[in-house]
Homo-oligomer: A and B are copies of this chain.
Amino acid sequence: MQDYKSLFNILTQAIDVEQKKLSSTSPMQMYEPMAYIIGLGGKRIRPLLTLVGCDLFDVNPEHATQSALAVELFHNFSLIHDDILDKAPLRRGNTTVHEKWNTDIAILSGDGMMVKAFDELCKSNPVHIHNLLKLFSKTALEVCEGQQYDMNFETQQTVSVEEYIHMITFKTAVLLGCSLQMGAICANANDLNQHHVYEFGKNIGIAFQILDDVLDVYATDDKFGKQVGGDIISNKKTFLLLKAIELATQNQKESITHLLLSTDMVEKVSAITTIYNDLNIKEIATAEANAYTTIALKHLHEINVNEEKKNMLKQFAFHLLNREI
């Protein structure tokens, strides 16, 4: 992370300026929630990746600032609307927009925030705008589709592991790939390098999401930031659950079906975890995540830039993936 300190400073400054602008624009009923959610912080991984994607090709990362802001604005729009759909009371430990104001305000300020993201792209170097818009709108649509698949899963009787991977790819991973590639576009990287940068980000994103499912069950310290076992309690169709159902014996399948209906949450978390352990789900999931990381690293290897910069990006990816279990 130390290596990206200067990039992070550029980013923080740009976001601060944007937040101030948002908080002083009329109508305040629409812009205040935007300033609020962007002010809640978060790790800023996506816009940082955009600056990294530009810096990787030895171009001043400030050329990618508008793209970084666009990515962060879009991500925050999706948080506002997803929180409505998920009926989530909290976001980053703070009240969600629809709870702090109301659903109408959350819908409209989310809409405005998405438009702001596209508007931000206009401020980029005109020679890049076509490519940036093409990638960004394609990705934005995939993110919406991913969210829809995730919603569908809640009521869908059976979900395959393959469908699950497709869902997390769209809902989460493509925006990471897009973030990096937008930086690469701003750095005039060629199509092949852009492709590899995108695939690196996307595959790291898939690995990250699978490991997130693992952490939800097996995290042992405070670094996770969410309730351990939360996915089991809420019957979320995670990689672990779907893989377990795929590999379970008839008996285990019946146990799982039975446990999903259980109201004793302590027993439910404990019993499902036992089944996961019996089926080696943690190891299988970790191996699956590693497989995506390996694909990502192959793409990183193919990017035609100096090794030192590639190594920095590799370290950053490992830093993201190796959260404590």
A152 touches B118 (CB 8 A): no
B141 touches A119 (CB 8 A): yes
Cβ-based interface call for A137 (8 A)? yes
A306 and B29 CA atoms in complex are apart in Å by 46
Residue from B27, B85, B104 in contact with A145 in the complex, judged by beta carbons closer than 8 Å: B27
Chain A 143-170 against B: per-residue CB contact (8 Å), 1 yes, 0 no? Answer: 0110111011000000000000000000
B151 touches A133 (CB 8 A): no
B27 touches A108 (CB 8 A): no
Distance from A25 Cβ to chain B, minimum over Cβ atoms (Å): 9
Distance from A78 Cβ to chain B, minimum over Cβ atoms (Å): 8
A151 and B107 CA atoms in complex are apart in Å by 12
Residue from B30, B141, B147 in contact with A116 in the complex, judged by beta carbons closer than 8 Å: B141
A144 touches B85 (CB 8 A): no
Chain B residue nearest to A77 (CB atoms) is: B111
Q: What copy number does this chain have within its complex?
A: 2
B147 touches A133 (CB 8 A): no
A141 and B27 CA atoms in complex are apart in Å by 11
A107 and B111 CA atoms in complex are apart in Å by 10
B133 touches A129 (CB 8 A): yes
- In A110-145, the 8 Å CB interface with B consists of 110-112, 114-116, 118-119, 121-122, 126, 129-130, 133-134, 137-138, 140-141, 144-145
Residue from B107, B108, B137, B152 in contact with A115 in the complex, judged by beta carbons closer than 8 Å: B137
B111 touches A151 (CB 8 A): no
A157 and B110 CA atoms in complex are apart in Å by 26
B144 touches A30 (CB 8 A): yes
Chain B residue nearest to A85 (CB atoms) is: B104
Chain B residue nearest to A27 (CB atoms) is: B148
Cβ-based interface call for A81 (8 A)? yes
B111 touches A145 (CB 8 A): no
Q: Which chain B positions have C-beta within 8 A of A118?
A: 118, 133, 137, 140
Cβ-based interface call for A275 (8 A)? no
Given contacts A119-B138, A119-B141, A121-B133, 6 further A-B contacts (CB under 8 A): A27-B148, A27-B152, A81-B111, A85-B104, A108-B144, A112-B148
Across the A-B interface, the 3 shortest Cβ-Cβ residue pairs: A119-B137, A30-B148, A112-B144
Task: State the A residues within 8 Å of B (CB).
Answer: 26-27, 29-30, 81, 84-85, 103-104, 107-108, 110-112, 114-116, 118-119, 121-122, 126, 129-130, 133-134, 137-138, 140-141, 144-145, 147-149, 151-152
